[in-house]
């Protein structure tokens, strides 16, 4: 891969593309600011998607369309009919619709919710498309550019699921590269899966004196939380379990009619996720069954709703996309770090597609807060890394 990349970088077309990336650094940053300034809360990415579609068309991409899930997809024809390489970033943010969205300069930083995650990724997609056009560089494999919806928590990866689903544009693709956030060293090759649940326990409820003895949903769930905390004791590196929220009750002088908890579990292994879910279900049902109440005075009912499932998966380090990303990162003088995270790449990884997630260059902090910031330290290198990776896995340049 290193030798192939050196050859590619000697090609006049790639050199022209590189020059364009450096010369248009400010344009990339202004796209990032522009797109971040268009609110894209979970399930309401439409306006940002439309603007992204216009920018993709201006960047020379073909057949720009918004698919059934709301993803923006566009093609760049290859020289052959090989399987496509997907270059992707996500449109949505974690911020609810009521969050005021504005982007401002603060010294050498740009501050705004979503500026890095994933305003940077979207801007990198556009910069790569323009650089390929400016250099008249065409890969052998066709490229599919995708700006996805639903990457963040509540979206449950619905955009990328659609992309690789039966009616998605990604069907048949061989490689998936997601540009998510900033940075130049991390290459996500392992997808942390998660399963999230809301457990609700209901009972008859009643007066705390007159009806004393009725089964109490909070007592039952409290016992379950205690046992789950034991189960989730740190030290177990192959999975996590977090009781993240809880609530319930009616009044200080009432036996509650309802109590609930929300539980997040994560692991890099599907088998482990399965096992943790099993334990969660068993613990809750045991604690509910053991909750003491007077006989024949009502019983408790349990409902476990699945709030979200992200499949776990991994991409082998010896596969083409990881080797390409490693070579591309090293070519920029940075030693890559292969790591695990939960991103759009989880879905193609779980489907056996060669998939990674990389940062889009620059540095950033305070992600998922309204103080999120981005600093354009050699940000161009993030664009170049994505460009090199795409060229390498896209089979090099067409003659």
> Which positions touch Zn ion (CB under 5 A)?
117-118, 180
Instruction: Give the closest residue to 20 by CA, choosing from 136, 138, 137, 134.
Output: 134
Minimum distance from residue 94 beta carbon to Zn ion (Å): 9
Minimum distance from residue 313 beta carbon to Zn ion (Å): 17
Question: At 14, phi and psi to the nearest 5?
Answer: -70, -35
Q: Kindly tell me which of 93 and 283 has the beta carbon lying closer to Zn ion.
A: 93
Planar angle of CA 131, 133, 138, nearest 5 degrees:
105
Minimum distance from residue 11 beta carbon to Zn ion (Å): 32
Tokens 């008859």 -> residue: 204
Minimum distance from residue 80 beta carbon to Zn ion (Å): 32
Question: At 360, phi and psi to the nearest 5?
Answer: -100, 20
Minimum distance from residue 180 beta carbon to Zn ion (Å): 4
Q: Kindly tell me which of 220 and 349 has the beta carbon lying closer to Zn ion.
A: 349
Task: Look at strands 85-90 and 175-179 and give their pairing.
Answer: parallel
Q: H helices of the chain, where?
A: 2-10, 12-23, 25-36, 46-58, 119-134, 158-163, 217-231, 270-290, 320-331, 346-350, 380-393
Minimum distance from residue 341 beta carbon to Zn ion (Å): 9
Q: Kindly tell me which of 180 and 268 has the beta carbon lying closer to Zn ion.
A: 180
Alpha carbon distance 49, 59 (integer Å): 15
138 - beta bridge partners?
A: none
Minimum distance from residue 253 beta carbon to Zn ion (Å): 46
Question: At 244, phi and psi to the nearest 5?
Answer: -95, -30
Q: Kindly tell me which of 20 and 176 has the beta carbon lying closer to Zn ion.
A: 176
Alpha carbon distance 286, 279 (integer Å): 10
Scored b (16 or more CB within 10 A) or e, 267-289 reads: bbbeebbeebbebbeebbeebbe
Q: Kindly tell me which of 18 and 118 has the beta carbon lying closer to Zn ion.
A: 118
Minimum distance from residue 268 beta carbon to Zn ion (Å): 18
Q: Kindly tell me which of 117 and 277 has the beta carbon lying closer to Zn ion.
A: 117
Alpha carbon distance 27, 327 (integer Å): 26
Q: Kindly tell me which of 5 and 40 has the beta carbon lying closer to Zn ion.
A: 40
Q: Kindly tell me which of 134 and 344 has the beta carbon lying closer to Zn ion.
A: 344
- Return the structure tokens found at 339: 């790591």
- Considering just the CA atoms, what is the radius of gyration of the chain in Å? 24
Minimum distance from residue 311 beta carbon to Zn ion (Å): 17
Q: Kindly tell me which of 113 and 135 has the beta carbon lying closer to Zn ion.
A: 113
Question: At 378, phi and psi to the nearest 5?
Answer: 50, 40
Of all helices (H) and strands (E), which one includes residue 332?
A: none
Contact yes or no for 311/346 (Cβ under 8 A): yes
């Amino acid at each position: 891969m290193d030798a192939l990349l050196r050859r590619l970088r000697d090609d006049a077309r790639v050199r022209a593309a590189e020059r364009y990336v450096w010369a248009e650094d400010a344009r990339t940053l202004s796209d990032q600011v522009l797109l971040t300034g268009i609110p894209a809360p979970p399930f309401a990415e439409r306006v940002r998607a439309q603007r992204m579609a216009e920018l993709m068309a201006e960047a020379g991409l073909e057949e720009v369309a918004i698919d059934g899930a709301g993803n923006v997809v566009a093609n760049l024809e290859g020289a052959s009919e090989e399987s496509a390489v997907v270059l992707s970033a996500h449109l949505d943010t974690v911020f609810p619709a009521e969050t005021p969205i504005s982007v401002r300069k603060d010294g050498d930083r740009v501050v705004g919710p979503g500026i890095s995650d994933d305003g940077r990724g979207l801007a990198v997609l556009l910069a790569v498309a323009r650089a390929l056009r400016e250099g008249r560089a065409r890969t052998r494999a066709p490229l599919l550019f995708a700006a996805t919806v639903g990457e963040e928590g509540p979206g449950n990866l619905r955009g990328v699921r659609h992309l690789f689903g039966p009616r998605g544009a990604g069907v048949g693709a061989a490689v998936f590269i997601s540009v998510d956030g900033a940075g130049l060293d991390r290459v996500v090759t392992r997808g942390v899966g998660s399963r999230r649940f809301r457990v609700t326990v209901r009972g008859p409820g009643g007066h705390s004196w007159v009806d004393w003895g009725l089964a109490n949903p909070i007592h039952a769930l409290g016992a379950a939380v205690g046992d789950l905390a034991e189960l989730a004791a740190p030290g177990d590196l192959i999975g996590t379990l977090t009781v993240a929220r809880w609530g319930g009750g009616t009044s200080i002088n009432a036996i509650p009619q309802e109590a609930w908890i929300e539980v997040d579990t994560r692991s890099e292994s599907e088998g482990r996720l399965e096992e943790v879910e099993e334990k969660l279900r068993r613990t809750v049902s045991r604690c509910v069954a053991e909750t003491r109440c007077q006989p024949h005075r009502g019983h408790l009912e349990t409902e476990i709703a699945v709030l979200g499932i992200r499949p776990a998966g991994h991409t082998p380090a010896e596969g083409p996309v990881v080797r390409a990303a490693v070579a591309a990162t090293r070519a920029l003088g940075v030693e890559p770090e292969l790591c695990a995270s939960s991103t759009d790449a989880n879905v193609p990884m779980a489907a056996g597609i060669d998939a990674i997630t990389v940062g889009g260059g620059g540095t950033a902090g305070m992600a998922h807060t309204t103080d999120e910031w981005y600093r354009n330290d050699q940000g161009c290198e993030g664009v170049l890394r994505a460009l090199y990776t795409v060229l390498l896995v896209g089979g090099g340049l067409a003659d």
